[in-house]
Amino acid sequence: MHSFPGKLLKPVLTILLTVFLSNLLLAQDNYEIQVYGAPTQEKGTTMFELHSNFTLKGSTETINGVYPTNHVFHETLEITHGFTKNFEIGFYFFNAIGDNGRTGYVGSHIRPRISAPEEWKLPVGLSLSVEIGYQKPQYCEDDWTLEIRPIIDKTIGKWYLCFNPVFDQSLHGYNKDVGFIFSPNIKASYNITKEVAAGLEYYGSFGPLNHFLPSNQQDHQLFAVIDLDLDPKWEFNLGYGMGFNQLSDRSIIKMILGRRADWHKAHSNKMLPGHM
């Protein structure tokens, strides 16, 4: 296997250490905590994912009409179907479980995504997703939101690097006049074995593109994660994350469990002798 190039190691470590040591933050939406890879679902396949997380230490007061997050489970069902070789659509169903009336259906999003064809022979994986949807105002300051997410990733030997420079826009709600907010996500992981990878995931929010917020109002979270690749049909991600100021959820456990269904293969098996 190829070793990780020294030229890339230094800037990656610098970014991660800077994020980890910074005393910054705001609040991260905790319904789908994931850095997205560039590949789209194969044509005719559907991925069913359950995003589960629990806020061990979060907000304890209602702010701008939004429920506190302390000791709340977030459960999100994501269903993504591949319609062509390079195009998929994902659907999200957000839910919260907590005391004092915080249990309920939160909202839904839809996310089309297109990836660069392999025929382009790009040096990196590349795709673009656009996510739009509604959340109830008691769970989010902005009930209608838009997210534009370019996705760039690269595998180098046993290392995997991924960058999502996300741009968030409130369409209606508390931040509707703020404009696009820059919310980058970064992942770096290392394959310990063929089945197990360990790494770090960073989630941030710097504020509006035309005027970043002061450092003490920005949002930065860092997760230590484990990814398991035991079967092509399944995916598993487990992580523990920390935020770095009093405005952020300070301690979170997250898990993603996914199961892929190949409808073309299932249909072919039914057509074979002995399959009813």
Confidence at 21, pLDDT banded by 50, 70, 90: very low
Is residue 257 predicted with pLDDT exceeding 60? yes
| Spatial distance between the Cα atoms of 6 and 3, rounded to a whole number of angstroms | 9
- Model confidence pLDDT, tens digit, residues 58-88: 999 998 899 999 999 999 999 999 999 999 9
Q: 107: which 2 tokens?
A: 């909202």
23: buried, middle or exposed (CB in 10 Å: 19+, 13-18, 0-12)? exposed
Least confident of 46-55, 200-209, 241-250, 260-269: 260-269
**Quick one: pLDDT at residue 123?**
98
Share of the chain above pLDDT 90, in %: 78
- Model confidence pLDDT, tens digit, residues 175-213: 999 999 999 999 999 999 999 999 999 999 999 999 999
| Spatial distance between the Cα atoms of 93 and 81, rounded to a whole number of angstroms | 15
Confidence at 247, pLDDT banded by 50, 70, 90: low
Q: Judge contact between 26 and 183, C-beta under 8 A.
A: no
**Quick one: pLDDT at residue 272?**
52
50-55 mean pLDDT:
97
Q: Say which DSSP state 194 is in.
A: S
**Quick one: pLDDT at residue 1?**
43
Share of the chain above pLDDT 70, in %: 84
Is residue 26 predicted with pLDDT exceeding 90? no
Is residue 225 predicted with pLDDT exceeding 80? yes
- Model confidence pLDDT, tens digit, residues 125-144: 999 999 999 999 999 999 99
67: buried, middle or exposed (CB in 10 Å: 19+, 13-18, 0-12)? buried
Q: Name the strand (E) or helix (H) holding 265.
A: helix 263-271
Residue 40 sits at the vertex; the CA angle it makes with 160 and 27, to the nearest 5 degrees, is: 65
